[in-house]
Structure formats: structure tokens, C-alpha cells
Structure 1
Amino acid sequence: MNNIDPVTLEVVGNYLVSTVREMGATLMRTAYSVILREQMDCTTALFDPQGQLIAQADHVPSHQGTLAYAARYVAADFELDPGDVVVLNHPYRGGTHHPDIMIFRPVFHDGRCVAIAAALGHHIDVGGRSPGSVATDARDVFEEGLIIPPLKLYKRGVLVQEVLDIIAANIRVPRETLGDIRAEIAATTVGERRYIELCERYGADRLSEIVHGLLDHSEAMVRRDLAAYPDGQYSATGYMDSDGISEEPVTIAVTVTLDRGAVTIDFAGSSPQLKGPFNASISSVEAACFCAVRYMVNPAILQNAGCYRPIKLLLPPRSVVNPESPAPLSGRFHTLERIAGTIVQAFNGARGAEAVGNGHNHLTSFSTSGRMPEGDHARSGETFVLFEYHGGGWGGTSRSDGLDATFGLMANSFDNPIEAIELRYPLMIERYEFIPDSGGGGAHRGGMGIRKDIRYLQGSGYFTNRSDGQKFPPQGVLGGGPGRPSAHALVRANGTVETLPSKITNVTISAGDLMVLETAGGGGYGDPRARDRQLVQDDLLDGKISAHAARSLYGLED
């Protein structure tokens, strides 16, 4: 970095950020499925020729370590040529879980590879025993969907049609999935074009020096911020409802050791490898740990591989955080949320008065499927699959209430518009609202959960609930109260109410049935009686708390 001036670092660094954001915008604007087009469950990134992350879009935090893991596989295992495109989703060869299909494109300048452009999208279906590829009771990876090892989808610019044919033959909604793959490919062409522009401006060798200077700079900034915390060991334990097969809770135990700007995260004491699909591959665990640590430092630090150098992980073999193939892991996102939330909880020991209440630390997610109504429209009689997820409450902090109805630490996704669902699927959203009193009480209360009621309108199909947070409410800190746990139910057309566990697969659903999803609130911060009286009155008037809670919890007089 000695011969790289700070202005150049800032200009190039922010150009790279702009590039990956443009790649992400291209992906979303050309995608077919609502999960990419509307909810932004995707990521775009640039890597150096060895697979080191040099820039990543601020989309889904759970992808920040995973693409890098796969990029290293691609860089090491392939003889890459101009015009090549590599596709993969293999969860034990750099992937995350089956629905996350990755695309990698080498970037060439003056005859040599200077970078790799990449995109990842969560696809609406990749086969397996449950529509949406979200079975909560899968026993191995083969039940969870089609596995795509790293393959060249394009060779020197020529499509290998057989690869697409194999994918299409193994999924329920090939039009959407193949369209989304093309959107990812389009995104990587943007990254290729923009990076070549940088090479032409600075020269490839000089640009490589600048990029690696950016990595060193990010590392130094992260180490500086981590060194501001008191050195020591800080432990916390988090729990998930179950692994989808057994009703035994899943334990995530972490010990965070801070040592002069370095951090070691030890998972000793976590559950052994699970029988159900809530194990997490190493690439995913890295993402959760990187994300949690990034929450502890300045968010303006440029996102690249340098940020991760101060972080060391200790992962017990054959455990929930280090499973052996073919252990199932399609539900690993809930585990990642619990990992990240538990690490943040451990950091509370070092943060003192700056501790934060627990957030919902999972996703309330589900899939439903069936057939489109017969008629004269283009999708008459086609299979449909919807996979959707919802946010809950974040924990209160020393400065403010927790965020309401927001995705967790690992999912920076958008809300799925009601209109987008009702236009594309034979479904009706009948209720979408905050749940009063769902945020834990506190001087700064926890964020609120939401209730969403979805009516199934046509024929019959399947419903799968892949959620968590029913058994272990998010805890408050420094006197703050717990958030309300999640709840899920089916209200049949005849009025019968079926209370559902957080994990259940392929329940038959028919016209007139109602899916009821209630997400968890966040834990509060501080003594509720210390809350500003005006804030209590505002919450009461807004319907965020009940009159009973205003009196009994916050001490508001009539």
C-alpha cells in the first residue's frame, strides 16, 4: 500500500462497489421469479484470479462467505478460457444449499485472466421431494434436490445445451429457473465489462496492486475496530426448535475470543451433526461468522477478503457446523441466523451498555404449490411453486427500538409485494399487519413481528413450513423483556384450525384453506419503566402495544 495514494484507493474501491451493485440491478431486472425480482434473494461479486473476494454487492449477507468459497474451487479446478461460464450448486463443493445456483465468468484482458465475475440466486425450485426444494425432513442431500457440481455451462462462448437440459428435466418450474440462470449470466457480463474498463484505465498489473491494497486496508480497519473491545473470552448459547425430524432442540454454542484485533470463534458444545436438513456447510458457517463480526465494526469498511483475515473459526468435526457429506442441509439458513445471533449475543459481554437484545434470528418461511387455473392465459394448467419468507423484530439497542418486521442478520431482502403474489399465483393475501405486543418491553422495545394470512384459491397442492422460533423467544438485555415467539397454523375451508410446528413438509392444502404465519418479535433493551412516556403513548395510539401492556409493563397511567 506504500505507493498507492488514498484517493486512488477510494476511487477504485467505490468503482468496484458500483460495479457489483450494477450487476445486482441487472440480475433483479431480468429475473423471472418473484424471489429474485422482488425479494432480492441474490448476490453479485468480483474476485481476483485466485478466488479472493474484491467486492460484493450489499444484498444478502449470508452469501458473503459462500461465493468466495466456491470461487476458490473454480479458480483451482478449471482451465478457464475467455467466454467460459461455470455453474454449480453443490453444497459440499463451495455451494450453500441446493436452491442457491452460482454462476462464475472469468474476466480476460490482453489474453490473461484478471478477475472472476460471479452471481448467486436462490431459485424457486431445484427438484427434490418437496416443491420449492425445502423439505424439512430430508435425510440426505439427495432428497433435497438436483446437485450440480462445478460444470462449464458455456465453453469459449458456446452454450453446452446438455447441462441446461439436465437441469430442466429435474425441476418443477423450468421456465422460471432457467430464466433466472440467464439473469445471473447477464449480471456477470456487466461485471466483466466494467472490470475490463478499469484494466484499460490503470493497466492490469497496477490494478492488481490497487485491489490488493484495498484488501490490506479493509483488514487493517477491521483489526482496528475489533481492538477497541476489551480482550477476553465471551460465550453464548442459542437454540433452534428442532432439526425437522427429532423434536430435540438444536444447540449453537460459541465462545468468542478477542485478542488485540483478532477474533477466534469456537463452536465446541454445539449439537452433533443433525439427521434433518439444518446442518450448515463450512462455506455457510463462514458467511454467518463473517456477517456477525462485520456487525461489530464500521459498516463503511469496504467489503472484501481483507475483512475476514482477522477471523479464525474452530469447527468440531461431524457437528451441525461441520457436517460430512451426504448430511442434509437445505434448511441451513435458519442455522446461520442462529449462529450470527448467538455470536452477537456473545459480543454483548464485551459491549457492556452497548449490548443489544436478541432479534428473531430465523426466517418464517414456507412453500406452497399447485396448478394454475385452466383458461386462455399463457400459464394455463402449469405447475406453480411459491417460496416466500418474512421478517420479524430486531432487538432493542441503547439508542433506539429494534427494527420492526425486518429480515434477520443474514437476509437483507425486500418485502414481497402483495400485488406481485396475487398477480402471479392463485393466492389471496387477506391480512398483513403488525402483531401488537410482539416486541419485548424495554426502555427501547424490541421490534415487532407480523402476521400474514394467505388464502389458497385453486385446486389442491402442498404446503411446507420451514421456520423456527416457536420454542425459544428472543431475549432482552439489561432488564429488557423477551419478544413474542413465532406461530403458524392452517385454517381449513371448513373453519378447522390446525396448529403447525415450525417444521413440517408437504401438507395437503386445498381451495379455501388459509395459511397463517406469525413471526417473532425482538427482545427489549433496558427497564420498560424507564421508557419515555411519549413513546409509550405513541405506541399505544399506533396499536403497537395494547392498553394492558401500557399499564402493566410500562406503568402508563390511565
Structure 2
Amino acid sequence: MEKWLVRIDVGGTFTDGWARSPEGDEIRCKVLSSGIIRTRVAGLDGNWIDCERPLSGHSTGLEGFTLKSGGLVLDCNPLEGRLKLDRSASIGETLELVSGEDAPLVAARILTGTAVGKTFPEMDLRVATTRGTNALLEGKGEPVTLITNQGFESLLEIRDQRRPDLFELAPATRITVIKEVIGIPGRLDRKNRELEGLEMNSLESLGVSNVALALINADTAPAHEMMVAEELRQREIEVSASYELAPVIRFWPRTETAVTNAYLTPVMGAFIKELCKTLPETPLSLMTSAGQLKEVGEFRPIDSLLSGPAGGVAGALALARSAGLDQVLTFDMGGTSTDVARIAGEPGYRYEQEIGPVRVLAPAVSIETVAAGGGSICQWRNDGLEVGPESAGSEPGPACYGRGGPLTVTDVNLLLGLMDESKAGIPINRQAAQNRLDELSSEIGDQIDQQELLKGLRQIAIEHMAEALREVSTRDGYDCRDHALVAFGGAGPQHACALAEELGIRRILIPSDAGLLSAWGLHQAGNRELRTKQILKPLDDFPKNFPSMIEELGKGGTIARCLHELRLQGQDSCLEIETEPDCSFAELVTLFETRYRLLNGDARPPGRKIEWVTARVELTGESPEIPGEQFDEGCLFEEDSLEQDAFSTMVIEAGWRKRQGSRGSIFLQREGAQETQPQSILVVEEELYRRRFESVVKEMGILLKRTALSTNIKERLDYSCALLDARGSLVVNAPHIPVHLGALGLCVREVSKTHQWTACETIAVNHPGFGGSHLPDVTVISPIFVEETLIGFVANRAHHAEIGGKTPGSMPPDARCLAEEGIVIPPTLYSEIGEGFFAESRMPHDNEADLGAQVSANQFGVKAMQKLALSGNIPGYMNALYERSAAILRQSLAGLKKCSAEDQLDDGSVIKVVIFSGEKLTVDFRGSASTHPGNLNATPAIVRSAVLYALRLWVGQDLPLNEGLLESVNIITEEGILNPPLTSDPENCPAVVGGNVETSQRVVDVLLTALGIQANGQGTMNNFLFGNERFGFYETMGGGAGAGPGWDGRSACHVHMSNTAITDVEILEERYPVRVREFGIRRNSGGEGTWRGGDGLVREVEFLEKMTVSLLTQRRTKKPLPNGKSGRQMIFRNNKWDELPGVCSVDVEPGDRIRIETPGGGGWS
């Protein structure tokens, strides 16, 4: 006799079940993931009760369930929606049925009709679960002990030193996954040479049962980690070892992966133990995030984090193939969030994902999640409409659930008639939703048409989802319009037509089991296996043994496809090249060259070798065969239509043809031209276009990162993109670098004074006299013309890590004029920049490639804005955002008293400000130092950036960095350090490189001190450069943030005007002749007070060959006010430590070491 086939997806709110009986019948169910089944008494017949809602999908199997309020279910008639109880009930009473078992067992009982206490039939069980994900997001795992290298105990507090929100002064509380860290001596280098012997004495008294273990370079030299793991396992301690979980380069995420696995081990262990205890004879397979099925013994907690969405993608792929679709975008919309993915033939993979408080190195189907679901809250905030990212969750849920929840997207659909309350799985309270809508209308204040408001709120939600789908396409160089949309989840089909219209998609596939596809998808998942080998060598080293390496990696299985991560040497970002198993070495090179040209618009730079980073093979097993699905001719809908079942809701909009499939799927096809959405009420249109504007500049940033060549742009993310209006005023920015963004408006306006713009041209500039900041920051500006009318500009600014000058890295500490700092670019048409333009640079090919990437990003932005202009009044919406920001600032001026502050740079140069309000807000910097003899001069663009940033913090509202904030602001400077005489002759122009990175921070400090917002942060970017005739390296380092009224300052992060990532220790040692001896938090460097200042960083680097080191820092003699510790730097040579000045260049020999201790933030009392 055949077994039951049972497939269960345990989500955060609901658990979905699908099963096939031995007779071939398909059964479905949906239960709460709490294991509770809720219903309400609608009628009575003795001890039989009529349920108000059908027991959707509930077969027999409820017998034996108990009632939380007392009582027992004796019998069940699900078809009639009746239960027999062992007690009386009353009409209107809410009943909560429980079996005392976990949700997957409850679902299995319902699917197989197995009453509580009865033995399950023979079955094959597959389970996906987000139990681990929920534990991470809710902090319900078990904090662990981490064992790591001495000197790196603080790594997971520092992470990559970036703050998650540019404008967040009070750091959000992060979920704690570690309870203690033990640092042990011992060190292996990248070539497996022992530098320091391993010592485990400190582990002898370890009194825990579960640890995470991660040592530097264990990806390529795991001997020490293996020794520690073996010692602990002999003592029956559970060990999550990084070399076993993620044997790939990058110490921080590999360490976090080990910690995450250990944190979730008790949670997932208990979940699996419960299943195995109840079903001891049942074969159990667990779905992984990569869409693979693993037996219990092979399953790791980190494998589970995206297993539910992976099941949805597996189901979508099977149905797309059945329908003959080869390129699809999947759209899985639930209550809290929406998951999207792109599939072309086979699903793509991601090997790193950030989930809640952690970043994990584990393969997963390439899925993007956006905080836009049925529970997304609709509200009026900051004088504008917002939808999400906050969610009502499952408790209290949307307003219509009747438990006091807020207005949500679900309520909006209900009130628009796009949901049939009589077919909902739970009781619906329409009046509660209407009440919340009335409250929102009242807040807006205008006499507003509620139907138009509802339509607008829905369209804003659609825009959020469209952004996510554009991102998964843009990132890989594809167009949404070339794909079909596969829509599923409880709310996916409800929004599919509107989303397709927004994206220009003309084909939609709705699965028959749309509301349960993640469960059904488990049935379609084949027994695949992904094997990985890290290589990290030039591809040219493998022309002969390439085939044998692939064969060895796939030994014992059938290779379905190979996935090779390749990149140009020196880069961190890889291109994944998919090949057939028998692909030759030459074919692989050709495929890389083709893909590189497609994504970057140009051939591989001459002389740059290809690095083979990782080889992967996917081994395939059997998976169910689905016959091709045939669709009828269908009918064209001339008006919107609603179709709903117990598990999902579908809305078919006018203009779409519905074609019924032979397997129950529905294929929707757009007939005729797609129309732009009709204009909505003004408050809706303003929010829609703000989101659309932000989406454009965000996609510009994605494109720039993808197509750039240098590490500084691709990995350190030292670039910014923005949209400006026709006046050159900043409209919106992507969340990039504040010191860049505020300066872009002035740059565009200064260039416009001397240039008559025409369509299809682009100008590059870095001259500080034209709104530039310092020479490494090259700005690219492109005008946006629509029918010969200039409607705005797109611009981006990117830091070129090398652009000539006296020292490698183009930031000479002793520069005295602009000519010594590098190549000066006055406003120059890109078309006139030819070969040899960057000849003075030490890395001209990088400059050319990065500038080309900047231009490509702008060209994308121009085309996107021109497309937007077809559907709306772009200048009008830009002006509305400008006026909204201006109005908010004017409102904030009330009650502002005259204030002032003064501080000094380390050499005594004064930075002074007086702030007072009248008709305008005056920010007066007169009295600041005269022109600096060195490089600490800050240009007017930098000063304007600092003021704009500080005002955005002062206003404290969620606004884009819009120059409307400066509309009522008068900034006064006199010639001097904050307004140096910028001449056209670089020899007679003051040096400015330090003004951008150092003086800018001091300007922000005095502004925030005057406004009483926050104590001083570290006040420096701690610029650290080293190199020789072969290479150059540059990075900036974080420190302590200032405390404020009600919060401690964040430790070990970039503050205010910078937010770049720091280089991972293993990446640094792999690429450069250096060794990182220590990287940690400088404890107790933050100032005391009621609220403590954040602590600074410590970074100690040993040099392995001769080179020159440059330091450009501040806050070494003048501490962060009121009481943060000053920074310091030292050099170890000739067996002793010597202090170094904060601004210096020094030649180092092999074995010399530089130690940098960055400043702490000031405290607040």
C-alpha cells in the first residue's frame, strides 16, 4: 500500500498543509502556527454546534481536541461545519481548539484524519519551517558562548562598523545572541603557517553545553579550529564550528554564522525532537533555504531560515515549467511581508543573507523580502501618507480582525470591495476598519474622498512591492517586462494585476493552490545537493585540471549544473556563471567575458586577471514530473472581478484575459496597451512619487556598485546617488554618504552657472570651486530633458581611491595646495575625456572603469525619470517635496532660542557657529579660523552638507535629505577655513582633502552642540592609508558616537558624515602584505554621564614588506566634548612603541606595526 504524502510549511502566523492520500486524493488545510484552531458558535443543536465559519480544509481529525475554555471535541463534520462537544455552548462564543501538539502535528492530524491519541498512518513527511527565523527576529534563541581569537572578542559588536540608519541618533536595541566571548591565543596565516601556538587553557573550566567557534583564516587553514572542536566534543559540548558551517573567506560573517547556528540549536532541536518523538517510524525530510531536502541528521539550524519561501519558489518553478514559462518573477505576499524572486530556468542562489540581527553565510534561493504585506499599517506621519514598514502582525492584526488593530492594507482591500468577508477564514469586523479609515481622514484634515484615499493607499503598497521586483531584476541586469509574474500567498493574487500594470508585465500565472504553494512546493522539491569548494586562485592556473576538479567535486552523484563564482582579481563582488557539467575551461572564460560585458557595458580591463573564487556543483535526484498545462482561450474582463476561496483571494482587473488551465492554474494575459494608473488625490500622489524618486536613485546605486571596478566603490560603498530639480536643488537621495549628498545640489548649481545644458550629455567634475568636496570624490551630473524641457538632474559622487597626488591613496597629510592632492577636473564633458586623462593616477584603469560606471548609473536614472514623466507632473511633485521639507523646518523654528558653540581642530583652528531665527534661520560661522595652511579647508559645499545633515537630525522626521530644509536658512561664512579662496590654478588653490573627511565632522559637532541634540561623537574618520609602488590601500575607521538625552552613544561605528564599511580581516590579509593583530572595541573610551558616550575602536596592523603609511585624523589633542577620550596612534619598531602625530606619513619595514585607537564619544548628563 502506498504511503500518505504529507507536506507542511510552518510559517510565522499560519501553517499550511497539503497531502495526497494513498488513493490519490489531495487534501489541504491552514491552521494557526500556535497550533490553535479558532471558530465561533453560530448555531446549536444539542451538543452539536454550527461554526460561524466553515472549518476550511479541516478533515476529520478534530476528534479529541480540547477547548482552552474547557471541554472536548467528540465528533466533527467538516463539510457542514459542525462539531460535537462534550458540553454545552452559547451562540457567539469563540472556541479555541488545541491538541497539545505543535502546529505541524496538528496539520498532519487534520490532513490524514487522525484523531488525537490515535496512531498516524504510514506517511512520508516533508516540513519547512521559519521557527528559527522567528526565534532570531524575536530573540527567543539561547545566547551562546563564542570562542575566537584573542584580540578579536568584540568583532560581532563592531560588525562592518556601519550604522544601520544614517539619521538614527539613539541606537536601536539589537537582539543579544551572545552571552560571553572567550579569546584564546593561537594564529594561522592564510597559507596555513602557524604564527602563534594554540593555547586552550582558558577552556578547561568551560561550563556550557553549546558553543560557537570561529578562528581567523579557518576557511583555508582550519587546523586550530579543528583541534578546539575536537577537544570540546570529547567533553560532550555541542560545537558550531565556522570551518564546517561556512568554509569561505570573510571572518565577520563566518563568525556570525557559527553563532547563529549555536543560538538556534536548542530551538530547532526541540522542534525536530517533538516531530521525531510523535512520528518515530515516519521518514522525515526538512526543507533548507536552498530548496534542498535534508534528513534530520544532516540538517543544520542555519539551513532553515528561508525554507518556507524556498518551498514557494520550488512550487512556482514547477508550475512555470508546466505552463511553458522560462523567465518568471515570483510574488509571494503574506500578512507581514512579501517575498520576491527571479527564476530563469533554475532558481538562482545567494550565499549570504542578513536576517534580523545576524548575517549568515549559507546557501539560499535568491529571495528578496520587503516589509509590505496585508498587515502593513497605513498612517499619516510627517505630513504625508505612509504604508508600512510597520506591521500589525498576527496580534492585534488588521482593524477588521476586531481586536483593536490599526488600519492596514487588508482593511483597505476590504473597504474597496476587494475581499469577500463571508469567505474569510476568521470573523471580519467591517465597521472596525471603517472607524480606522475615518480617523485617518480626520488626521489628513482635508475634505477627502475616502474611496480615492483607499485606492491611493493600495497603490502606495503596490509601489513598495514593485521596488523589490525591480531590484531583483536590476541587480542582475534584466528587465521586469521580459518576465511573467507568478503570484501566490494569501494576498499575492489579490494584488497581481495592479503590480503587473506598475511593472509593465503582461502575463500572470496564478497557481491553483496559490494560498498553500509553499506547502505544495515541498512536494516538487527534488533531492538536490549543493557542494562547494573555495579556490581563490587565478583562473589561468587551471586550464588542464579544470575538468577533473569538477568531476571530483561531484563524485558519487549526478551533476545537474555547475555554478562558478568568478571576479577580477582585487575585487570582492563576484559574478556567478552557470555552466553545463561538461563545460570546458575556454567556454567558462568566454561565458565570463560575455556576462561581464553585459553587466558593465565594456570589456574586461586589460591586464586584470580573472580569479576563480568558488566552484559549486548541484547534484540532482528525482523530482515529480508535472505534465504540461494547457489553457483555454478564456474571456476578457471589462470590469474588475473578485474570486476568493478559503486560502487565497484573487482580483482580476479590467483589460486582462482569464484563461483556465487543465491543472487548475489561471493564466492572465493583458490585452491591448497597458495604461498608467489614473491620478489620485494629491497627498497620495506626493507619497507615490517620493517613493518612485527614491526607487530611481536606489537603483542607480545598485547599478553603480555592480558596474564599478574598484574595491572602494564595490565593497566599501563609498558613493552616493541623488535626484535634483531643474534649479539644482536636492530632491531625494539614496541612503548613502551624508557628506556627499548635501553637497551635490551646490555642485550642480555651480556647474550650471558656466554651462548651458543640452540633452544626452554628462559632465564630470571634482574641482572644489565647483561644489566639489575633495579631489578623490568625482561627481557626475546628467540633465533630464523631456521634450526639450529641462525637468531636473541626476548626479552621483564616488570616491576614487587613487587619483594621483604626492602619496598613494591621494590623501597626502602634508599637502599645501590642490595640485599636490591629485588630478583636478574642472567641469568636463564625459565625451571629451579620452585615453590618458587619468595618466597621473597610479591606477588609471580603475579610474576609467569607475567613471564609466558612474555615467552608466546616471544614464539609467535619466531614462527612468523620462519614463516617469510620461505619467505625471514631475516638476510639480519635486516642488511639493521641496515645499513639504521647507514647511516642516519653518514649523520647527518656533521657540528656537539663539544658541552658539565653538570647538577647535587639533592644531587650534577654531570652528565657531551662532544660530538664531528671525524671518529665516541664520547659521553664522563667522569667527572661524582663517584659511588653513594645510589640507583641512572645508569648501562651501561641505559646510552646506553639514548644515543640511544637522537640520535633518534636529527636525527628527522621516524625510529625504531634501534642500527644502535649507529654503529658510541663511548660511554665513567668511573667507577662511570654511570658505577658502578657490582659484582656477591648482598651484594657488588651498589643499582641501582633509576638510572633507575631518573638518566636516567638526562642523557637525558644533552644530549639534549648539542645538543641544547630542554630545560630540568621535569627530574624525580616522583615515588610514598604506601602499608602495605596487598598490595602495585606503580605509576609514569608526569610533564612539555621542550620547544624548535618553540614550547611550553607539560604540565602534562611523558617525555623522561618513558610513563606509571596514575591510574584513581575512580579505585584507588575502590581498595585501599585512597582518591584523588586533581589532576590537576600545573599552571605557566613551565619556561618563547619565548616558555614556560610545567607545572607540582599536586596530593594530603589522606590515610584511616595505611601504609608506599615511594617517589623516583629528580628535587627538582636542577630546570629543564633554569628556570622550581622544584618539591616539603608535608605531612599533625596534622592539618599542612610539607615539605618532595624528596627521603624518611614515615609512615602515617588515615587522613594523601601527596601532590606531579611535576616539570615544562624549557622555550626556
Short-chain TM bin: 0.7 to 0.9
Q: 2:859 aligns with which of 176, 186, 189?
A: 189
Alignment partners' CA distance in 1, 2:794 and 2:991: 29
Alignment partners' CA distance in 2, 1:329 and 1:4: 48
Are residues 1:504 and 2:1144 paired? Answer: yes
Alignment partners' CA distance in 2, 1:184 and 1:421: 26
Are residues 1:290 and 2:290 paired? Answer: no
CA contact (8 A) 1:86 1:105 kept: yes
Are residues 1:475 and 2:475 paired? Answer: no
SS at match of 1:92: helix
The residue type equivalent to 1:321 in the other structure is L
CA contact (8 A) 1:222 1:301 kept: no
Are residues 1:209 and 2:876 paired? Answer: yes
Are residues 1:358 and 2:1029 paired? Answer: no
Once the two structures are TM-superposed, the CA of residue 189 in structure 1 deviates from its matched residue by 2.1
Are residues 1:404 and 2:1063 paired? Answer: no
Q: Which has the higher contact order (CA 8 A, sep 6+)?
A: 1
Once the two structures are TM-superposed, the CA of residue 405 in structure 1 deviates from its matched residue by 1.1
SS at match of 1:71: helix
SS at match of 2:1090: coil
Alignment partners' CA distance in 2, 1:343 and 1:24: 29
Taking a change above 3 Å as real, the CA distance of residues 419 and 182 of structure 1, as seen in their structure-2 partners, is: farther
Equivalent runs, 1:127-138 vs 2, <5 Å = 127-138=804-815
Equivalent runs, 1:238-317 vs 2, <5 Å = 238-242=903-907, 249-259=908-918, 262-317=920-975
Once the two structures are TM-superposed, the CA of residue 441 in structure 1 deviates from its matched residue by 1.5
Equivalent runs, 1:338-417 vs 2, <5 Å = 338-348=1002-1012, 355-371=1013-1029, 383-417=1030-1064
Deviations 1:54-103 (CA, angstroms, capped at 9, x unpaired): 22222111122311111113333223333312111011122111111011
Alignment partners' CA distance in 2, 1:106 and 1:283: 20
Structure 1: runs of 5 or more not aligned = 155-159, 243-248, 349-354, 372-382, 477-481, 527-558
Once the two structures are TM-superposed, the CA of residue 39 in structure 1 deviates from its matched residue by 2.2
Alignment partners' CA distance in 2, 1:465 and 1:452: 13
SS at match of 1:214: helix
CA contact (8 A) 2:1041 2:1093 kept: yes
2:999 matched to which residue of 1? 335
Once the two structures are TM-superposed, the CA of residue 195 in structure 1 deviates from its matched residue by 0.7
CA contact (8 A) 2:722 2:796 kept: yes
The residue type equivalent to 1:209 in the other structure is G
2:428 matched to which residue of 1? none
1:165 matched to which residue of 2? 836
Q: 2:1109 aligns with which of 443, 460, 463?
A: 463
The residue type equivalent to 2:1108 in the other structure is Y
Once the two structures are TM-superposed, the CA of residue 33 in structure 1 deviates from its matched residue by 2.4
Are residues 1:177 and 2:177 paired? Answer: no
CA contact (8 A) 1:91 1:281 kept: yes
Taking a change above 3 Å as real, the CA distance of residues 268 and 409 of structure 1, as seen in their structure-2 partners, is: same
SS at match of 2:878: helix
Once the two structures are TM-superposed, the CA of residue 4 in structure 1 deviates from its matched residue by 6.8
Alignment partners' CA distance in 1, 2:861 and 2:1152: 45
Deviations 1:160-192 (CA, angstroms, capped at 9, x unpaired): 352x5222x111112322222122122212211
Equivalent runs, 1:79-118 vs 2, <5 Å = 79-118=756-795
CA contact (8 A) 2:1102 2:1153 kept: yes
Taking a change above 3 Å as real, the CA distance of residues 238 and 391 of structure 1, as seen in their structure-2 partners, is: same
2:829 matched to which residue of 1? 152
Instruction: Indicate the larger mover: 85-94 or 72-81.
Output: 72-81
Taking a change above 3 Å as real, the CA distance of residues 103 and 338 of structure 1, as seen in their structure-2 partners, is: same
CA contact (8 A) 1:393 1:406 kept: yes
The residue type equivalent to 1:236 in the other structure is A
SS at match of 1:391: coil
1:553 matched to which residue of 2? none
CA contact (8 A) 1:38 1:417 kept: no
CA contact (8 A) 1:225 1:298 kept: no
Alignment partners' CA distance in 1, 2:1147 and 2:956: 47
Alignment partners' CA distance in 2, 1:265 and 1:359: 21
Structure 2: runs of 5 or more not aligned = 1-382, 384-445, 447-679, 983-988
Once the two structures are TM-superposed, the CA of residue 265 in structure 1 deviates from its matched residue by 1.1
The residue type equivalent to 1:95 in the other structure is G
Alignment partners' CA distance in 1, 2:718 and 2:731: 21
Once the two structures are TM-superposed, the CA of residue 309 in structure 1 deviates from its matched residue by 0.9
Are residues 1:198 and 2:868 paired? Answer: yes
Once the two structures are TM-superposed, the CA of residue 424 in structure 1 deviates from its matched residue by 2.9
Alignment partners' CA distance in 2, 1:96 and 1:334: 12
2:177 matched to which residue of 1? none
The residue type equivalent to 1:337 in the other structure is Q
CA contact (8 A) 1:226 1:296 kept: no
The residue type equivalent to 2:736 in the other structure is H
1:517 matched to which residue of 2? 1156
Q: 1:322 aligns with which of 976, 979, 982?
A: 979
Taking a change above 3 Å as real, the CA distance of residues 177 and 489 of structure 1, as seen in their structure-2 partners, is: farther
Once the two structures are TM-superposed, the CA of residue 283 in structure 1 deviates from its matched residue by 1.1
SS at match of 2:971: strand
2:1101 matched to which residue of 1? 454
The count of residues paired between Structure 1 and Structure 2 equals 481
CA contact (8 A) 1:290 1:311 kept: no
Taking a change above 3 Å as real, the CA distance of residues 334 and 220 of structure 1, as seen in their structure-2 partners, is: same
Alignment partners' CA distance in 2, 1:26 and 1:426: 31
Deviations 1:34-66 (CA, angstroms, capped at 9, x unpaired): 322222221101122332222222211112231
Q: Normalising to structure 2: TM-score of the pair? A: 0.40
Are residues 1:6 and 2:670 paired? Answer: no
Alignment partners' CA distance in 1, 2:961 and 2:1082: 35
Alignment partners' CA distance in 2, 1:280 and 1:307: 21
Alignment partners' CA distance in 2, 1:15 and 1:30: 23
Larger Rg: 2
CA contact (8 A) 2:1028 2:1108 kept: yes
1:143 matched to which residue of 2? 820
CA contact (8 A) 1:86 1:103 kept: yes
Taking a change above 3 Å as real, the CA distance of residues 170 and 199 of structure 1, as seen in their structure-2 partners, is: same
2:897 matched to which residue of 1? 232
SS at match of 1:390: coil
Alignment partners' CA distance in 2, 1:208 and 1:4: 17
The residue type equivalent to 2:1117 in the other structure is K
1:479 matched to which residue of 2? none
Once the two structures are TM-superposed, the CA of residue 516 in structure 1 deviates from its matched residue by 1.0
> CA-atom RMSD, angstroms?
2.0
Deviations 1:277-326 (CA, angstroms, capped at 9, x unpaired): 10111111111111112110124123222121122111022x11111131
Alignment partners' CA distance in 2, 1:94 and 1:268: 20
Alignment partners' CA distance in 1, 2:869 and 2:1069: 46
